[in-house]
């Protein structure tokens, strides 16, 4: 995803040029541990999402978003509550009815303590439903494979990772946790349409090491905002199943604080 930003920005005069460096491992935490120690000189940036909050709550890292300076919120990839092709229902209403009739019994695949887990915890809290969680390691790709094979009945998916499978019947999409329906799935209702006030997505953005000068933060906030104003770039990102939503440094910091409060409350509730 950020490779598209890199290509666009460098082709349109980014100064200095940016270079995306992928550091795989530990669910993104390996890269976070490197980024938090980088020099605060405006030449190091870090791509981040809600896993930074959850990893801190789970004590996988000893820092959270406050260890960085927020630069800009950029993309939104809404979650889709999805089912195995073999579940005996084909609609959100059917799914909810089945969940209520089988409290704590329906198998849900998730990376425990990750965003794919927390959406079901929040959904369960709002709907009075409960599940039997099946731990899945290996990211969305592994979860997608196991859902198609009916290893479990339900899982969180998104358009960017599973549009082909969701459209072809290899998985069943029941509801999208977005403000409005996706053009790619016009017949899939939002959770709000079904009476559940839940908007949930993977929200990606950019942060910088703590102490990065404000003028450097402002420079990069403006630079990352430019692609979002180009209809061609917006279309390119949309084709990947992702939306764009810009927030500058202050708004992004407030957003992170609100998300942290939400995830902390849910995390504390499952520890009781």
Would you say residue 252 has pLDDT above 80?
yes
**Tokens describing residue 34:** 């490197």
Q: In this predicted structure, which of 32-36, 133-137, 207-211 has the lowest mean pLDDT? A: 32-36
Would you list the domain boundaries of the chain? Answer: 2-76+202-271, 77-176
- What class has domain 77-176? alpha beta
Contacts of 144 (CB under 8 A, 6+ apart): 155, 157, 161, 162, 165, 171
The string of pLDDT tens digits covering residues 72-121 is 999 999 999 999 999 999 999 999 999 999 999 999 999 888 899 999 99
DSSP letter at 66? G
The string of pLDDT tens digits covering residues 13-43 is 989 999 988 877 766 778 788 888 989 999 9
The pLDDT value recorded for residue 193 is: 98
Would you say residue 65 has pLDDT above 70?
yes
Contacts of 143 (CB under 8 A, 6+ apart): 109, 110, 111, 116, 136, 155, 156, 157
Q: Give Cα 30 to chain centroid, integer Å.
A: 18
Instruction: Check for a shared fold between 2-76+202-271 and 77-176.
Output: yes
The pLDDT value recorded for residue 33 is: 86
Q: What is the mean pLDDT of the chain?
A: 93
CB-neighbour burial class of residue 134 (10 A; exposed 0-12, middle 13-18, buried 19+):
middle
Alpha helices of 115-248 — where are they, by DSSP H? 115-127, 139-148, 159-168, 214-225, 231-238
Question: In whole angstroms, what is the distance from residue 28 CA to residue 48 CA?
Answer: 9
Residue 271: pLDDT band (50, 70, 90) is low
CATH fold for domain 2-76+202-271: D-Maltodextrin-Binding Protein; domain 2 (3.40.190)
The pLDDT value recorded for residue 139 is: 84
Is 173 strand, coil or helix? strand
**Tokens describing residue 27:** 């669910």
Q: How far is CA 82 from CA 86, 134, 174, 182, 185, in A?
A: 12, 15, 6, 15, 13
The pLDDT value recorded for residue 272 is: 58
């Amino acid at each position: 995803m950020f490779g598209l930003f890199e290509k666009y920005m460098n082709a349109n005069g980014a100064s200095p040029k940016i270079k995306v460096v992928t550091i795989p491992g530990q669910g993104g935490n390996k890269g976070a541990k490197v980024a938090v120690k980088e020099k605060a000189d405006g030449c190091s940036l870090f791509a981040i999402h809600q896993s930074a909050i959850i990893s801190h709550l789970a004590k996988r890292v000893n820092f959270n978003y406050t260890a960085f300076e927020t630069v800009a919120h950029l993309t939104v990839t809404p979650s889709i509550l999805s089912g195995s092709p073999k579940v005996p229902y084909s609609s959100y209403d059917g799914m909810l009815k089945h969940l209520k009739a089988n409290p704590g019994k329906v198998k849900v695949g998730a990376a425990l303590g990750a965003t794919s887990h927390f959406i079901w915890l929040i959904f369960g809290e709002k709907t009075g439903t409960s599940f039997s969680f099946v731990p899945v390691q290996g990211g969305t790709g592994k979860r997608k494979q196991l859902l198609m094979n009916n290893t479990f009945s339900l899982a969180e998916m998104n358009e960017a990772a599973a549009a082909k499978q969701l459209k072809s019947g290899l998985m069943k999409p029941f509801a999208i946790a977005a403000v409005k329906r996706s053009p790619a799935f016009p017949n899939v209702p939002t959770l709000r349409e079904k009476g559940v006030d839940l908007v949930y997505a993977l929200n990606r953005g950019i942060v910088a090491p703590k102490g990065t000068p404000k003028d450097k933060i402002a420079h990069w906030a403006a630079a990352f905002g430019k692609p979002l104003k180009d209809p061609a770039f917006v279309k390119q990102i949309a084709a990947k199943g992702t939306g764009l939503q810009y927030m500058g440094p202050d708004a992004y910091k407030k957003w992170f604080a609100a998300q942290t409060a939400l995830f902390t409350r849910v995390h504390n509730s499952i520890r009781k």
